[in-house]
Amino acid sequence: MIWHIFQALILATAISFAGSIQLGPVNFGTIRTALRYNKKSAILFGFGGSLPELFYSALALGSSNLLSRYEYLDDYLKYLTIGVLFIFGIYLIFQKPTEASEKDSPDKGNHVWRGMGFGILNPQLYPFWLFIITNLRSNNLLTDERWPVQAAFVIGTAAGAFLLQYLVAVFTSKKREFVYMKLTKNYNKILGAVILAVAVFQLVINL
């Protein structure tokens, strides 16, 4: 069983890392935190942003065989999340930029909670993991139903996402001026636009 646990952990980590490469709200939030504060703050934000992977992947594991019975609930959750994303995106676009440094950086817990907030509002996580898990099972790549194996898979989803966020935080901190010039000083507006784009995309594909 140890081999199956290790296999599930590595498989989920690799899939999560690859799936997190897209420039979504959490990635952009990690970049923004590194530019506005420091590398440590960005890593904490990225850690918080990776934690919702645990919830959504576990939910996908538990519901992959039962989704058809509760399809109406899934639709309600999708539209509720889209509405929250619209509000959050508009808020960021109109938020006035503020200068900050290590001295006025929020405490560690705040960065983790903010990252978690960005991650849990990502409407793509649940359908993404539901699609992945369904395909893995249909191709006999995730067939072990024992809880240690499934727990290892869930942990791997967060590990892969955090690994990417860590690399993003380190790269942004080392190439601060380069990234800052690319994003200019309007990263609040850019981040808000990214969130709105995600919301619009989700709305279109669910119509």
Average pLDDT estimate for 33-47 = 90
Over the stretch 69-121, which tens digit does the pLDDT of each residue have?
A: 555 655 666 677 677 778 877 876 776 654 444 444 556 668 999 999 888 88
Q: What is the pLDDT of residue 103?
A: 45
Angle at 87 between CA 83 and CA 88, to 5 degrees: 115
Q: What is the pLDDT of residue 157?
A: 95
Share of the chain above pLDDT 70, in %: 74
Chain Cα centroid distance, residue 190 = 17
Q: Which of 48-57, 62-71, 169-178 has the lowest mean pLDDT?
A: 62-71
Q: Supply the mean pLDDT for the chain.
A: 79
- In three-state form (DSSP H/G/I as H, E/B as E, the rest C), the secondary structure along the chain is CHHHHHHHHHHHHHHHHHHCCCCCHHHHHHHHHHHHCCHHHHHHHHHHHHCHHHHHHHHHHHHCCCHHHHHHHHHHHHHHHHHHHHHHHHHHHHCCCCCCCCCCCCCHHHHHHHHHHHHHCCCCHHHHHHHHHHHHHHCCCCCCCCHHHHHHHHHHHHHHHHHHHHHHHHHHHHCHHHHHHHHCCCHHHHHHHHHHHHHHHHHHHHC
The one-letter amino acid at 98: T
Burial class (CB in 10 A: 0-12, 13-18, 19+), 184: exposed
Q: What is the pLDDT of residue 69?
A: 57
Q: What is the pLDDT of residue 96?
A: 62
Over the stretch 117-136, which tens digit does the pLDDT of each residue have?
A: 888 887 678 878 887 887 78
Q: Give yes or no for a contact between 190 and 183, defined as CB atoms under 8 angstroms apart.
A: yes
Q: What is the pLDDT of residue 165?
A: 95
**Residue 160 above 90 pLDDT?**
yes
Residue extents of the structural domains in the chain:
2-206
Q: Count the neighbouring beta carbons within 10 Å of the beta carbon of residue 148.
A: 13
Reading the block at residue 88, the tokens are: 């959050």
Instruction: Please state, in angstroms and as integers, the Cα–Cα distance from residue 20 to each residue in 30, 78, 108, 116, following that order.
Output: 12, 20, 23, 15
Reading the block at residue 131, the tokens are: 């699609």
Q: What is the pLDDT of residue 192?
A: 75
| pTM recorded for the entire structure | 0.71
